[in-house]
Structure formats: C-alpha cells, structure tokens
Chains A and B, each alone.
Chain A
C-alpha cells in the first residue's frame, strides 16, 4: 500500500547546543511535485534537509516515507530509500571522469569485471537527457560548476532516486544554465519524481514550484499553493514584516578618485582600465568566467599581473602582496566563501577580526575585551544569528557566514575600497536589504565599493556606474539609469 505522500515529516524538532534549529516543522512531498522551501538565513532549511537525508537524526517528531516510518539514520540509508541530495558544495571527485563519478558506487560488471562499454553508453544516454554535451571520459574537475551540477543530477537519476533534493542549486549558475535546469526539473516532475527545492531567488521559486513551505527561526509558518501567492506576500511571510525598500541606493556626490586601475593584464584579464571615486558603487556585470574574480584578485595582488598598474589614493599597490593592499585600505570579500573566505576551525570572533587585529593591539597583546566588544557590535549591526561569538563559523548558516566575512572588512578603520564578489550569494531577502543598506551608508562616509555580481537587479539598482566584462575584457560602461538588463546582457555575450 502506498501513502498519499512520498515523504512526510510532522512536528519535527531539532536542537543544537544553544539553538532550537527546528521547532515543530511539518513538510509533505507529493509524487511529481516541486515543493520549495524558503526562509531567511538560519531559518532551518538545510537542517530539515539534513534530517530527511539522514545526516542528522530528529530529536522529536515523525518522519514517514510513503506512509511508513522512515527509519533513516545515515545518509547511506537515505540513498537506498531513493533520496538523493544535491548540495551546493558539490561532492564529486574532481580527478575521476564523469562516468566514473556517476557509477562508482554501482558499476555494472560481470563477475567483477567492469563493463566499461556499458558504463559509457549509459552515461551518454543520461547526459543527452539532461543536455550535457561532454565526453564521458572528461575529468569532472575540468568542468565548470554548472556542468558539475548536471553530473550530480545524473548521479541522482542513475541511483533511481524517487526524491531529489536541491539545496540552492542555482546560486552559482548563469541565466541560460538556470533555464536548462528548470527544463530538467519539469521533466523529472513528469516522471513522478518528487523534488524539494531550496533557493533564495524568489522569482525562480514562483516560476518553478507547485507548493511553498515557509520557515522562520526554526518555526513552521505555512505551506501555500504557489499559484496563490505573490513575491511580496512570500517575503513578508519569511521575514515576519513588510519589507519596504529592497534597494536603498541614494547616490551621493562622488569624491576624489580612490581606486585607479590602468591597463591591468593577467593570464585571464586583458587591458582593463577603470576608476572608482569615494562614495561610488561601481558594478561589474558579466557571465560566469568573464574574468571578474580574476580582475579582483589581480587588483589586491593575489594573482600575478603581467602588466598594468593599480593605484589607491595616488600610491601604487604592489603586485604580489595582499597584506600591502590591505594596509592601503583595499578589502576583498571572495566569491567562494567556503574555500577562500572562512577559517572553518575558528570561531566567529577570530574569523571576523583576522584582518583588523592591529586595531585591538595594546603594545604586544591582543586586547580581548576590546575585540569582543567590536565583534559583538558587528554581530548586532548585521543581525548575525548565533548563540555566541565563540561559535565555530562552520556551524553558522551560509548567509550568516557571509555577513561575518563582510564584517571582517567593515570593522577596519582604514578601509577605503571594498571589493565584493557576489556579495549576496546565498543570502536571504531581508539580509540582502540589510547589506545593501550598509553599503549605501558606508559610501556616504566615503567608502569606494566595487561590486561584482551576476544578479542583474542588484547591479542595476545599487550601482552608480556599471562595467560589463566578457572574456577578460571590459566591453561597455554604463551610467546609473542608462543600463537595462537587455543592454548588460547583449554586451556580456
């Protein structure tokens, strides 16, 4: 006998020390349904997913699969029951081929001898199904993130998943890639597979999902039919109040030129020149891989420069010393938070103050009480959700980690230029508005901001000037108000 729902959790509670991460949450998934899960950073979305997929066990409540108790205690058991999770941080093995990655847990074989012909044939078949045009022998490490994600999906399909969970699958994808993903999801749906979809991009959710469940602070708020809600309604359910001004940008009279880049050339960037004035927010738009991150890295001296100059307040920034760049007042918030941003084994406090330690030094010693005071203030200002500043940063939700990294530079006294690479990736609407607000305020105090972003609305509404990059070159410059999505896009492709 089959139950009405593929999967159902009822009144689930999950505690972590100091955090009530899930507080009586309900969730059901029907066959052939796309069920979106939304909520602010730290609302408990990932925690719920981890319970469903056996990473965490529930403290209290019920978890049923097809009407029967799930009895899933480990990730392995979840996979056996047909539950596949596509995490944002992909779990593929980079030095193995596409085919090996897909089949390594269940290689077709006759008496121990792997039937490679069959492996490659099946892989090709699945690849054409999701529209992945590659050689199955290609090592996964050489593929861009979007294609790796498709490999993850194939892996789930090949394991005969009945339930596929996607935790922020599109935060690293370009528009075309997102469209392709949507197409695949619709096909999976028609095959009766149930999909749980987490994203902070509400327009996407409204387009793609059948139902939406909203969580807030670990509480179950409601489950609604997608057809019955608007974006505004959804936002107010998520944040618990009306959110008036998403993009608060009030351009201020630009001051002196603070950052000047002249003919900067590296292996990935060709002859880029631009400047940023005090009080300006200058955006860099473009597709993934257009060389924007490489430009930022070359500016601070993290990547080798071949030629060109970077000047801050009239002084040249050395080509190979990120510490000098920091001293001159340039901060860089990296795109890849997990690998390039956080110190996973350190607490929030140490993560936040690592670049500004000089401010807390008296003679030789770090003044702990001053440090704690500043960190607590930042935690308050940015609404970072944590039981304590001594919490390991890796225990924070993704959005809150991002705020800690941002705070790392905001707390610096001498900060003049802030380069932020995908500043709101994985960040909820409320926090986004907060971050925009903070950036806006800081520019009024004379900060120069360079904002690299693939999100057009954010670039269009926050930036005073916009540069578009394509294949390592600047292809266009727009003033605020001149640019439209179409114009940016046409210069990017």
Chain B
C-alpha cells in the first residue's frame, strides 16, 4: 500500500527533482572538465568545496528562514560587519576565541534586530532586512571610514586556509553543520514546527505553536550562521573589509531556491539546497578557470536567479493544481 500512496508519489516527485539537480551538476562538471584541463584536479575541487562551504554555512540559515516563510537579505552586509568586528577584536586582543565570540555576538545582535522588527513590528521580512542591509553596510563603512582593516595575527589565516586530514577546515565545519541541521529539520520538534509555521502560520498558531517565538529564534540562529561564514571569510580575506559580501545575499538566495526551497514557506529540503549551492559554486569556479571576465559572472548569476525563481513559480503552480484536484469540494 505504502508504495502506491499519493504521499509517497509526491515525495518521489521532489526526489525526482533532486535527481534532476544531480544530473545538472554532473553535466556542468563534465562540460567544464572538457573546456578546462585544470577543472578536474584535486587542487581545484578542494578549492571549489572551500569556496562553496562559506555559502553553505550561510545557506543553512537562509533555508531555515525560507522554510518559515521569511527571508533575510542583510546577510551580505553582515559579512562585512562581522569581519570588521572580529578583526578589530582579534587585533586588539590577539585571541582568535575572542574574535569568534565577537563575530557570533554581532550575528546574534543582527538576528535579534531583524527578528524583532519582523515579529514585534509586523514588518514584512523582505522590507525589514532590506532596511537593515543598508544600515549594517553603512555602519561598517562609517566605523572603518571605508578602509579595510588588515589582520595582524598570522594564525588567523589557518581557519580559512588550513586543513585537517587533508580536508579544508571550512569544508569540515560546513559538513558538520549540514549534518546537524539535517537532523534538526527532520527529527526534532523544532524542525517540524518550522515546516508547519511556514506552511500555514495561522493554523500553527491555533494548534498551539509559539509562532512568534520560533520566528525570533530562527532569525537569531540564522544570524549566528551568517556570522560564522563571515568569520571564515574574514580569515580568507585576511582583513575586515567594509565591502565584503556584496551581492552575497543574492547568491545564497538564488542557490537555495534553485535547490527547491520555496520562497513561500513550508516546502524544501536541506539536501536540495546543498545541491543548488554546489551547482552555483561550480559554475562560478568554471567561469574563473575559463578566464571569463567577472562582469559576465554577474550576468550568469542574474540568469541563475531568474531561472531559480521561475522554477519556484512553476512548482507553486503545479502544487496549486494538485491542491485543486485533491481539495475537497
């Protein structure tokens, strides 16, 4: 019985969609390895993974928010603010731990700010974070007078560039986080509640779920994840740069949506999002290898965004059709 039930059928559609993503990823890899001999090398693949891992850490936060039916586009600005805060603390104290704490604290504060504006103020999260995006970027520019702060603690670079058992540290961190949040989303009460609230927040409220509290918690959690990726980015840049992370929000959001996470909440998986981010990462890497001018990167990125949103719209339409067919009366 189980196998034939419609529930499973629906799941297999999403699975099918992920299969399409896997195929797309493989195809892109094949094309690039034909076009460039340096693509399929251990060095380059490690490199791609290292780059993607930053997007993945922030992307987990974005997935949580999108599943709830919310969004945070201040993530790019936050990359700069966190970098500046942590490098300042690092240079002053020489302690990487304190620098990390400064980074996380910045993430918590920004997450709280966004979360409170959205939950208490009732402001739409796109608009709210559009505002904080400008504010946070502005603060970064003001405190640094738009000048990058170089790192004066050499060990700091190890976080972004270092390896453990031959695997880059950022890759290890992001893999651990993916596994952890996969568990959270699929096997804990918190995960169930996120999906339920994103699917129908009024029903969730009436069913006794603490909707506003969970939204606030997820904004803070996402802020912390964004800060973690920013911390590693600062290490890789070896500086606290006020222009860091420009356009990062669009990358992350596009990749996650490409991976099947719906913008309207309640639908999507972490594994799909991961595939979306890998695809975008590989494309960007391939373009660099092929010496394509960085202006074209923007064009490609823009195209990916439109494609991702188009796919999301199509999914939504199909879902609506399904619902019409199955909805009673």
A365 and B200 form a contact (CB under 8 A): no
From B2, B6, B210, B319, A323 is in contact (CB under 8 Å) with: B210
Q: For the complex, is B145 an interface residue (Cβ under 8 Å from A)?
A: no
- Assess the B6–A392 pair: CB atoms within 8 A: yes
Stretch at the interface among A111-119, A203-211, A346-354, A452-460: A346-354
Is B209 part of the binding interface, using a Cβ–Cβ cutoff of 8 Å? yes
Q: Which of B193, B205, B322, B326 is packed against the most chain A CB atoms within 10 Å?
A: B326
Stretch of B7-15, B18-26, B147-155, B285-293 lying at the A interface: B7-15
Residues facing B in A397-418 (CB within 8 A) are: 397-398, 401, 408
CB-defined contacts of A345 to chain B, threshold 8 Å: 199, 266-267, 319
B188 within 8 A of A: yes
A392 and B326 contact, Cβ closer than 8 Å, known pairs A302-B205, A326-B208, A354-B196: yes
Cα distance A323–B183 in the bound complex, in angstroms: 24
What's the dominant secondary structure at chain B's contact region?
helix
Among A327, A334, A365, A388, chain B packs the most CB atoms within 10 A around the CB of A388
Question: What's the minimum C-beta distance from B63 to chain A, rounded to whole angstroms?
Answer: 16
Determine whether the beta carbon of B209 is less than 8 Å from that of A323: yes
- Which A residues touch B1, using CB under 8 A? 18, 387-388
Assess the B203–A322 pair: CB atoms within 8 A. no
Chain B positions within 8 Å of A377 at CB level: none
Check if B329 sits within 8 Å of A168, measured CB to CB.
yes
On whether the beta carbons of B208 and A331 are closer than 8 Å, the reply is: yes
Q: B267 contacts A391, CB within 8 Å? A: no
Q: How far is the CA of A336 from the CA of B164 in the complex (A)?
A: 56
Residue A361, interface by CB 8 Å: yes
Residue in A297, A358, A388 whose beta carbon sits within 8 Å of that of B189 in the complex: A358
Q: Contacts A300-B206, A323-B209, A366-B187 hold; do A346 and B328 have CB atoms under 8 A apart?
A: no
0/1 per residue, B211-229, Cβ < 8 Å to A? Answer: 0010000000000000000
B210 close to A341 (CB less than 8 A): no
Instruction: Indicate whether B327 reaches chain A with its CB closer than 8 angstroms.
Output: yes
B309: shortest Cβ distance to chain A, in Å?
Answer: 19
A169 to chain B, nearest CB (A): 10
Cβ-neighbour of B202 out of A168, A340, A394 (below 8 A): A340
A residues within 8 A CB of B8?
A: 388, 390
Q: Which of A351-369 contact B (CB under 8 A)?
A: 354-355, 357-358, 361, 364-366
| CB-CB under 8 A for A395 and B326, given A339-B202, A343-B203, A366-B189 | yes
Q: Could you jot down 8 A-B contacts, CB within 8 Å?
A: A17-B4, A322-B206, A322-B208, A326-B207, A350-B192, A354-B196, A354-B207, A395-B6
**When A and B form their complex, which 5 residue pairs have the shortest distance between CB atoms, in order from nearest?**
A326-B208, A88-B329, A398-B328, A323-B210, A390-B7
**Which residues on B are within 8 Å of A, measured CB to CB?**
1-2, 4-10, 183, 187-189, 192-193, 195-196, 199-200, 202-210, 213, 266-267, 319, 322-329
Instruction: Please report A residues at the B interface, Cβ cutoff 8 Å.
Output: 16-18, 46, 50, 55-56, 87-89, 167-168, 297, 300, 302, 321-323, 325-327, 331-332, 334, 338-347, 350, 354-355, 357-358, 361, 364-366, 387-388, 390-392, 394-398, 401, 408, 426
Besides A46-B328, A350-B192, 19 more A-B contacts (Cβ < 8 Å) are A18-B4, A55-B325, A88-B329, A168-B329, A300-B208, A302-B205, A323-B213, A339-B203, A341-B203, A342-B203, A350-B195, A354-B209, A361-B189, A388-B5, A391-B5, A391-B6, A392-B7, A395-B6, A401-B328
